[in-house]
Structures are given as structure tokens and as C-alpha cells.
Amino acid sequence: MKILHLYYDLMNLYGEYANVAALKRLLDKNKVPCKVDTLSVGDKIQFLDYDLIYVGSGTERNQKLILEHLKRSKEALKAYLDAGRFLIMTGNSFEILGKEIVDAKGKKYAGLEIFDFTVTEQERTRDTADAVFKLIEEQERNKEEIGSDSENTHAKLVGFINKCSTIQGIETPLFQVEMGLGNEKAGQTEGIRYKNFYGTHLTGPMLIKNPYFLMKLASDLCGKQMKGDYLVHEKAGYEITLRELSKRMEAK
């Protein structure tokens, strides 16, 4: 299994290297050979050499840097996505895949135009919130497919949102918002999903705070069920966080 941590140096605002480390550890524990490469601006990317590519969150300035770097490779990236390969983009990184980003001063940046959404940044103010999101694809699935525990809660992800943008025009969102911020500030959906591409502003780091989603992702990637018996503390942390955030929602 080959994983690429792309822009590991520029897009690591919230310690997202831990997402890659958590995924590799799970694969290692399940005896799946795994190699992680790190590439950045200036490197040539052979997308189809990798089973999964991960890009984390960065400053607005660094986001524009990687956008310019990827423009020369956008057709190759689109082919990678169309082939159903795995791409995970957290924080503001996935915003570059849309048609356009308008910054806080009104300057327009052409996106990679792989998707039709547009992004508008706001000046000075950042929107922050704790989040409980539910995977849209999981809502009608049986709980046995999500995890071995009796409660059908593992389609829910917890984390934190910190962003300065709104996104319009996403037709295939990743999450239903139960608590927190959507693509638009008061929106009911968040992120974007296309085949095995997951794009979300959810941080935490996301795979550390959501061990059941980590296992689902690794299982889908490998085509077999991953065992996460060693994730005792991660599962306990997830359950506590979800319980406390659920209490907060019920109190409103």
C-alpha cells in the first residue's frame, strides 16, 4: 500500500501529519505493508503511483501556493479521482478543486475546476465551532456495517471547524450537519464526496478523533475489514466527545 502525504510541509496547520501516521499504524497492525512518501511544491507527482493521497489544512497563503503548483497537474489529478482512487483533503485544502476562490479583498483565483463549487473568503473574521457531522452515505446502512458496537453512532464524526470561507454549489456533500458549521455558515451539509474522494473542513486531527471512521476508511482502501482492537483510548475519547457534544445539543 502506497500513501502520499502531499504538501506535508505547507499544509499541516493543525498537525494533520497525525492522520497519516494513524492510518499507517492501523495498516501495520493489520499486517498490510505500507509505504508513506512526502512530496511538496517543486516535486513531480505521479498520482496513479499511490493508493491514497492526503492533503491537510494550511494558511490562505499556502493554499494559493499549492493551487498554482497543482494547476499543471489538474488533468492527472482528475484522472486519479475518476479512477476511484482515495484522496482525503481536510481543512481548506479541498477548496482549490472548485471553480474559483475569491479572497477577502475581492481578488479572484481560478480553481482547478474539477468541481463546480465556488469559495468566498471573509475578511478578518474566522468562524469556529465544535462539530458533530453524520456521513450522508451511512444514514441508511445497517449498524453492523459501521462497527461492531450496538449503538448506530459510528457514522457520526466529531471534531472542530476553523475557517474563513463559505462554499456555494456543492451538489454531493459528505456530511449532514448535526452541530457546527456547514459549507455555508448556516448550511445543513458540509464537505464534498466523489467516489473515494473525501473533502471536509473537519479537523481534530480527524482520523485521530474518529477511530471508527479511520477503520472504515482503511477497510475500504484495502478491500477487507481492518481490526482496531488496540484503539482503546481513541475509541473512549470518541465516545466521551460525542456524548458531551450531544448533551450540549440537547440542552439548546
Handedness of CA 206, 209, 128, 146 (dihedral sign): positive
Predicted pLDDT of residue 125: 80
d(CA 104, CA 108): 10
Please give the residue that has the higher pLDDT: either 21 or 152: 21
Q: 99: burial class by Cβ within 10 Å (0-12, 13-18, 19+)?
A: middle
Position 153 scores a pLDDT of 55
Domains parsed from the chain with CATH numbers: 2-251 (3.40.50.880)
Average pLDDT value for residue range 181-206? 95
Indicate the pLDDT class of residue 62, thresholds 50, 70 and 90. very high
What's the per-residue H, E or C state across the chain? CEEEEECCCCCCCCCCHHHHHHHHHHHHHCCCCCEEEEECCCCCCCHHHCCEEEECCCCHHHHHHHHHHHHCCHHHHHHHHHCCCEEEEEHHHHHHHCCEEECCCCCEEECCCCCCCEEEECCCCCEEEEEEEEEHHHCCCCHHHCCCCCCCCCCEEEEEEEECEEEECCCCCCEEEEECCCCCCCCCEECEEECCEEEECCECCHHHHCHHHHHHHHHHHHCCCCCCCCCHHHHHHHHHHHHHHHHHHHHC
With a CB cutoff of 8 Å and minimum separation 6, the contacts of 197 are 81, 86, 87, 88, 89
- pLDDT tens by residue, 214-237: 999 999 999 999 999 999 999 999
Specify the pLDDT at position 126.
Answer: 87
Instruction: Tell me: pLDDT of 28 over 90.
Output: yes
- What does the pLDDT read at residue 139? 46
- pLDDT tens by residue, 99-153: 999 999 999 999 999 999 999 999 778 899 999 999 997 544 444 444 444 344 5
Q: What's the pLDDT at 9? A: 97
**In which band, very low, low, confident or very high, does the pLDDT at 174 lie, cut at 50, 70 and 90?**
very high
pLDDT at residue 142, as a whole number: 40
Query: What pLDDT, on a 0 to 100 scale, did the predictor assign at position 238?
Result: 97
Q: 187: pLDDT confidence band, cut at 50, 70 and 90?
A: confident
Asked whether residue 57 carries a pLDDT value surpassing 90, the answer given is yes
| Cβ count near 213 (within 10 Å) | 23
Instruction: Give me the mean pLDDT over the 83-100 stretch.
Output: 98
Residues, the chain: 252
Share of the chain above pLDDT 90, in %: 87
